[in-house]
């Protein structure tokens, strides 16, 4: 133990870091609304997300200078993804066939549990004790780290952001930039108090980003060298060539897939494309939409384990294909576009709700708009019964849909999920595919309100009577109508409704009325339709 660790400053900083860990755990244990409120009240968090959103939106804009080109690219991105989905089962079989021909072993998992077990079995067969992981949101989705750690296997995240999140004992708050919620000072404290250099020392305190990255680099290099297994995600799987394509900037993806003797890749079944010709457009869109880069530092295309004559590379490569609800999404007529996603994160970068509550408030692996859409549909998530509140946390402003490189109509899907959550029994049993938890949030009170509202607005006489009553009764209107008026001054209805004013002014109510009414400036012979 180094002396550094006995210093009072060190102990003080440790307490701060521990407190942040507890705050995270505390938040995670609550319901959506409480989590959102906690996030809204945390100024540091708010500043981190606001700054990151502004930065990422500006960066994306800078790499799409030409609006027409952007829209042309989005057309092609959407088309490429839809083509792939059109032939999904065939492409998966073709992929498997070509991967096997290339020497890559293929495993199919219907559930998170199966995927974890497959990976663990591979580890056991190889006598593996340690894992180094490249970035993989699917591995977060199945909570692989917990599964393996419970079985005595060390799992180390190697993406800088993921590594820091793991040190903090938190979860990623963004699918592309996992530690976006912490500022430099927080990360400096974290590295100082929790990281250990290869010599077993504490890392000296520094807020300098180059220092912080340099220290993490030194620690992780050792791990890459020693790990028994490398685990990674996949950005695209190319069926015709049997290739796994990964994009990244740090080099940890290449390290994880290259240095350990066994590489296990895990991906959702939707990530397959037919051929190399499907790649360029998606590869043009992905980094531009994600981080505003023209291309990532590395595009890593793996088409097999090490050959006999090659001096390095893994001896085994495995691919785990995960369903976990995806084949159900494939069967839902309205929600199928969920599967077009290339996980760029642009929707969360552009979401005004995400910018304010951040990723953790969603309480799911995938936050932001795509998280709201995909989470309730994952088998492992508990469905709408657990996540309906998240689906309501959207003003349907459309910023996400406008940013999405593959034109997923995210607001439409969110609206559809609300309908699923509120579905009446008749709809739940109409024989069509439904989301897990369909109807679970139909409340008698709310459905009665909407039925009443609907009755009111489908009968115009009743409607006019009510608006008259509202406008007449404006003096009686309460000036407080929580929750609207907690943060706003109550608007007062006008003295007379437009219906009344128009009637009083003799504005025709139908084309037939015009025959009798004369408009002041109508000099020519207008012919009415009636």
Residue 255 engages other proteins in binding (rule: CB under 8 A) = yes
Peptide linkage before 74 cis (omega within 30 of 0): no
Residue 159 engages other proteins in binding (rule: CB under 8 A) = yes
Residue 19 interacting partner from ligand SF4, other proteins, none (CB closer than 5 to 8 Å by kind) = none
Least distance in Å: CB of 63 to other proteins? 11
Residue 374 interacting partner from other proteins, ligand SF4, none (CB closer than 5 to 8 Å by kind) = none
Beta bridge partners of 232: 265
Alpha carbons 316 and 261: distance in angstroms, whole number = 7
Residue 225 engages other proteins in binding (rule: CB under 8 A) = yes
Four-residue CA torsion sign, 201, 206, 210, 213: positive
Alpha carbons 295 and 63: distance in angstroms, whole number = 10
Residues in the interface with other proteins (CB under 8 A) total 178
Question: HSE on the CB side for 188, CA within 13 Å?
Answer: 11
- Strand, helix or coil at 317? strand
Q: Which helix (H) or strand (E) holds 272?
A: strand 272-273
Residue 307 engages other proteins in binding (rule: CB under 8 A) = yes
Nearer to other proteins by Cβ, of 15 and 75: the residue is 75
Residue 405 interacting partner from ligand SF4, other proteins, none (CB closer than 5 to 8 Å by kind) = ligand SF4
Burial of 353 (0-12, 13-18, 19+ CB in 10 A): buried
Least distance in Å: CB of 345 to ligand SF4? 5
Nearer to ligand SF4 by Cβ, of 174 and 194: the residue is 174
Of residues 333 through 352, those in contact with other proteins by CB under 8 A are: 333-334, 336-337, 352
Burial of 508 (0-12, 13-18, 19+ CB in 10 A): middle
Instruction: Check: CB of residue 352 under 8 Å from CB of residue 346.
Output: no
Instruction: Check: CB of residue 162 under 8 Å from CB of residue 232.
Output: no
The token pair that represents 468 in the structure block: 């008259």
Angle between the N-to-C axes of helices 8-28 and 184-194, in degrees from 0 to 180, rounded to the nearest 10: 110
Residue 304 interacting partner from ligand SF4, other proteins, none (CB closer than 5 to 8 Å by kind) = other proteins
Residue 170 interacting partner from ligand SF4, other proteins, none (CB closer than 5 to 8 Å by kind) = none
Question: Which position among 199, 200, 210, 480 is part of the footprint of other proteins (CB under 8 A)?
Answer: 210
Residue 394 engages other proteins in binding (rule: CB under 8 A) = yes
Binding segment toward other proteins, per CB under 8 A, in 12-20, 123-131, 144-152, 288-296: 288-296
Residue 218 interacting partner from other proteins, ligand SF4, none (CB closer than 5 to 8 Å by kind) = none
Residue 294 engages other proteins in binding (rule: CB under 8 A) = yes
Least distance in Å: CB of 426 to ligand SF4? 31
Question: Which position among 28, 125, 276, 425 is part of the footprint of other proteins (CB under 8 A)?
Answer: 276
Residue 343 interacting partner from ligand SF4, other proteins, none (CB closer than 5 to 8 Å by kind) = ligand SF4
Residue 406 interacting partner from ligand SF4, other proteins, none (CB closer than 5 to 8 Å by kind) = ligand SF4
- CA 309 remoteness from chain centre: 42
Alpha carbons 360 and 367: distance in angstroms, whole number = 7
Question: Which position among 12, 93, 149, 430 is part of the footprint of other proteins (CB under 8 A)?
Answer: 93
Least distance in Å: CB of 85 to other proteins? 7
Binding segment toward other proteins, per CB under 8 A, in 19-27, 146-154, 374-382, 506-514: 506-514
Binding segment toward other proteins, per CB under 8 A, in 73-81, 143-151, 196-204, 363-371: 73-81
The token pair that represents 454 in the structure block: 């609907």
Q: How far is CA 349 from CA 47, 293, 335, 346, 451, in A?
A: 14, 14, 22, 5, 37
Q: How far is CA 92 from CA 66, 270, 299, 341, in A?
A: 36, 9, 22, 17
Residue 139 interacting partner from ligand SF4, other proteins, none (CB closer than 5 to 8 Å by kind) = none
Of residues 114 through 133, those in contact with other proteins by CB under 8 A are: 114, 118
Q: Which residues bind ligand SF4 (CB under 6 A)?
A: 289, 341-347, 370, 403-406, 408, 410
Nearer to ligand SF4 by Cβ, of 132 and 347: the residue is 347
Nearer to other proteins by Cβ, of 35 and 381: the residue is 35
Residue 316 engages other proteins in binding (rule: CB under 8 A) = no
Of residues 420 through 449, those in contact with other proteins by CB under 8 A are: 420-422, 424, 447
Residue 384 interacting partner from ligand SF4, other proteins, none (CB closer than 5 to 8 Å by kind) = none
Q: What is the DSSP string of 319-351?
A: EEEE-TTHHHHTT-TTTGGGGG-----HHHHT-
Least distance in Å: CB of 12 to other proteins? 22
Residue 295 interacting partner from other proteins, ligand SF4, none (CB closer than 5 to 8 Å by kind) = other proteins
Least distance in Å: CB of 366 to ligand SF4? 8
C-alpha triplet 44, 50, 54: angle, nearest 5°: 150
SS (H, E, C) 115-154: HHHHHHHHHHHCCCCEEEECCCHHHHHCCHHHHHHCCCCE
Residue 347 interacting partner from ligand SF4, other proteins, none (CB closer than 5 to 8 Å by kind) = ligand SF4
Nearer to ligand SF4 by Cβ, of 220 and 413: the residue is 413
Q: How far is CA 193 from CA 3, 45, 180, 190, 359, in A?
A: 13, 21, 20, 5, 24
CB neighbour list of residue 347: distance below 8 Å, 6 or more residues apart: 368, 369, 370, 400, 401, 403, 404, 408, 410
């Amino acid at each position: 133990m180094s002396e550094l660790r006995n210093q009072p400053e060190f102990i003080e900083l440790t307490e701060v870091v521990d407190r942040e860990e507890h705050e995270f755990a505390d938040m995670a244990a609550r319901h959506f609304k409480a989590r959102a409120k906690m996030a809204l009240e945390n100024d540091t968090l708010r500043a981190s997300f606001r700054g990151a959103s502004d930065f990422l939106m500006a960066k994306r804009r800078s790499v799409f200078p030409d609006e027409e080109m952007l829209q042309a690219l989005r057309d092609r991105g959407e088309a490429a993804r839809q083509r792939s989905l059109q032939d999904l089962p065939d492409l998966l079989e073709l992929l498997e066939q070509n991967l096997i021909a290339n020497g890559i072993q293929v495993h199919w998992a219907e559930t998170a549990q199966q995927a974890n077990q497959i990976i663990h079995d591979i580890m056991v067969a190889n006598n593996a004790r340690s894992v180094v992981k490249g970035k993989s949101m699917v591995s977060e989705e199945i909570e692989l780290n917990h599964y393996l750690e419970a079985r005595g296997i060390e799992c180390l995240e190697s993406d800088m952001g993921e590594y820091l999140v793991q040190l903090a004992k938190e979860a990623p708050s963004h699918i592309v930039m996992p530690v976006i919620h912490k500022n430099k000072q927080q990360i400096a404290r974290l590295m100082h108090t929790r990281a250990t250099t290869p010599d077993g020392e504490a890392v000296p305190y520094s807020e300098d980003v180059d220092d912080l990255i340099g220290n993490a680099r030194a620690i992780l290099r050792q791990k890459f060298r020693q790990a028994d297994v490398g685990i990674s995600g996949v950005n695209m799987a190319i069926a015709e060539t049997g290739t796994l394509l990964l994009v990244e900037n740090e080099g940890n993806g290449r390290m994880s897939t290259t240095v350990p003797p066994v590489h296990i890749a895990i991906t959702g079944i939707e990530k397959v494309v037919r051929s190399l010709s499907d790649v360029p457009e998606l590869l043009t869109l992905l980094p531009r939409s994600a981080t505003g880069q023209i291309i990532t530092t590395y595009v890593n295309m793996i088409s097999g384990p090490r050959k006999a004559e090659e001096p390095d590379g893994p001896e085994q490569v495995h691919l785990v294909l995960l369903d976990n609800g995806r084949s159900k999404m494939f069967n839902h007529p309205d929600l199928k576009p969920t599967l077009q996603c290339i996980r760029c994160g642009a929707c969360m970068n552009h979401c005004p709700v995400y910018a304010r509550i951040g990723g953790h408030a969603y309480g799911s692996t995938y936050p932001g708009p795509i998280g709201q859409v995909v989470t309730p549909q994952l088998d492992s998530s508990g469905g709408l019964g657990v996540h309906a509140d998240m689906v309501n946390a959207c003003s349907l402003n459309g910023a996400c849909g406008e940013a999405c490189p593959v034109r997923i109509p995210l607001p439409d899907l969110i609206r559809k999920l609300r309908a699923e959550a509120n579905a009446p029994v008749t709809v739940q049993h109409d024989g069509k595919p439904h989301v897990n938890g369909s109807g679970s949030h139909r409340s008698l009170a709310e459905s009665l309100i909407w039925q009443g509202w609907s009755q009111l607005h489908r009968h115009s006489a009743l409607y006019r009577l009510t608006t008259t009553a509202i406008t007449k009764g404006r003096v009686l209107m309460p000036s407080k109508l929580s929750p609207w008026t907690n943060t706003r001054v109550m608007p007062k209805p006008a003295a007379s409704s437009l219906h009344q004013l128009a009637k009083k002014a003799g504005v025709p109510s139908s084309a037939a009325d015009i025959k009798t009414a004369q408009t002041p400036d109508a000099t020519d012979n207008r012919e009415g339709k009636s």
